[in-house]
Structure 1
Amino acid sequence: MTAAILVLEDGRTFTGQAYGAEGETFGEAVFNTGMTGYQETLTDPSYHRQVVVMTAPHIGNTGVNDEDPESSRIWVAGYVVRDPARRVSSWRSQRSLDDELRAQGVVGISGIDTRALTRHLRERGAMRVGISSIETDAGALLERVRASGEMTGAELASEVSTGETYVVPAIGEKKFTVAALDLGIKTMTPHRMAERGIEVHVIPATATLEEIQAVSPDGLFFSNGPGDPAATTHQVEVLQGALGAGIPYFGICFGNQLFGRALGFGTYKLKYGHRGINQPVMDRTTGKTEVTAHNHGFAVDAPLEGSTTTPYGDATVSHVCLNDDVVEGLELRQDGKLTGFSVQYHPEAAAGPHDAAYLFDRFVQLMESRYAGGSSLTTGHSTTESEGV
């Protein structure tokens, strides 16, 4: 097997074997704690320019298929595993993970102590990293790592967004039309809305408010995506215009961070982020705790208690991570009625738990309340046939 090295920007070095494509790659080193769902992780656009370390030791057991990808390609900048599967074992598999990484030119490394690497990142924080199977001099690779780009200050949504608008039709009877700004959207997200009778117009990240309004949306959705929210200004201005126009809003992940900035809050970079499918979050509007899927390295800086008056209404923190009190959701109300909300995690649950599927129902209720002249949105969970799918 071809030897490979991994060098962090602080000089920590690991040696192993090439996994996937041979070559050299650079990015931000982060770790994912999921025991499953590696195919969804690899194809999540939010991992653009990140080298993902899997904490689960055995990766690739179920191979790769054409049904589970969350986008049209693998987005991770590099992949780090301890013990890749030597043989695929799944009736759904169509090829091996190693072959897929190689076919898409994704450079990886295997056979290293991922537990030690993860502990290092937890103690020192996410940092730049390089993987190479063509360079044997760790010092030379370290120089190139330190010359590579940082995640802080990077505007990346435009690099992963769709180039043109496309429509995901409602499943069954159409109830609403939603404009979804693609900041790195996962395939399952518009599908979850379509299951609830929503026709989803997925729009490029560069769209103007006028282009969004041209589809006559009943609601506006901002997706997950990569990069530093502080470096993303156009979409914040668009969202402020939409809130001023009274369009109901729902955002997830990057959409939560941009919602926070639109409301006047700051954002900051977490030491090592939340990435995995086992993060405990409390929905403060119901008092229930959910096990949730995360992929974020930035967070909203908003007060956990009380409300904040904004030009668009009163904003409150609706969800909190029970591990570290990071803001995991926001609500916006005018005259006591909900007009917009967001969460920092991934309720589409691909891959991951389905505890948060009710949030799509909450979005439907928000639009029903806004356009049917009904009462203000109830905060309790509702049950649908699609919940838990």
Structure 2
Amino acid sequence: MPASSDLVLFTRKSLIVLALLAVLVLCWALTPVFMLVFGAIVVAAMLLSLSDLLRRVLPVPHGVALAIVLVGLTGGLTLLLWMFGAQATRELSTLSESLPGAWAQFQQWLGETSIGSLVQEQLNAIRDNLGRVVTSAGAIAMTVSSGTVDLLLVLIGAIYIAAQPRMYRNGLLHLVPRSAKPVAADALDTSGRALRLWLGGQLVAMVVVGILTGIGLWLLGVPAAFALALIAFLLDFVPIIGPIVAAIPGILLGFTVSPQVGFATFALYVVLQQIESNVLQPLIQQRAVELPPALLLFSLVVFGSLQGAVGLLLAAPLTVVVYVLVKRLYVRELLGGDTAVPGERD
């Protein structure tokens, strides 16, 4: 009889282990779907922030505010495309046609300088790594342009989530044991606030960087300044790597004008990066979320390696959410540590 009960216990434990392994395998296989879901959450957080901002001005219900925001965003995007769509398309086409020649001209100029051979060796040494970075940036653009179905899923899912955020929050909390629900609810609310604060701060930084880049390149006489400013605006959403990738075509086109303009363009991007890192971000992070730079860098590498362009694009907001949940649930709740949690109400 004891042997029979031991066998039953062993079988039960084995089945539990196999079930857990099956769940882990299933979760890993569904990781791309989870990334799309998180993308919808990010867009929904932006929509909720805009609708809450509108409700501070107009005392309207949440659904009405969200509808106004959606109509305003659609109309604004349509207006921008009507006003600048032709110019952006023309300059982006010019940019794609000019870059190969600009790179060849830069290499030729470099070979004629006294330090050209030394610099050329360094460029050759980092060419593969740089190529991977540029490929990642290109993959982001391809994902946005060719992944139409995924993009529509994210947008539609974001609208559904933003329309009834409480329903999805409460549904998620149903999966948590009753004793842990208050803590889990607080952690979800805190991570949501932190995500919305980060998105707001990042959007401000993106707009400022895009405007300053366009003005600076236009004053220097760099071709396709509008398209380069648009690239700088979009890629600034990806911290650290995005601004570096955005600077490459601008610097190359600067060298097509003259070496002096090329170096001035390089200096412009460096100055703008310093302004963003040392002026904009500290001011924004006072009211948003301050992430350790090393943590952000390695999260970009990890998520980019695991999920490619989508992982690279969502690495920063995903790190914000994970960072807040770890500090709130693990450091404070489990370890009993006294730590400040981004997004927490005062």
Greater length-normalized contact order (CA 8 Å, ≥ 6 residues apart): 2
TM-score, normalization by structure 1: 0.25
Greater helix proportion: 2
Greater strand proportion: 1
TM-score, normalization by structure 2: 0.27
The structure with the larger Rg is 2
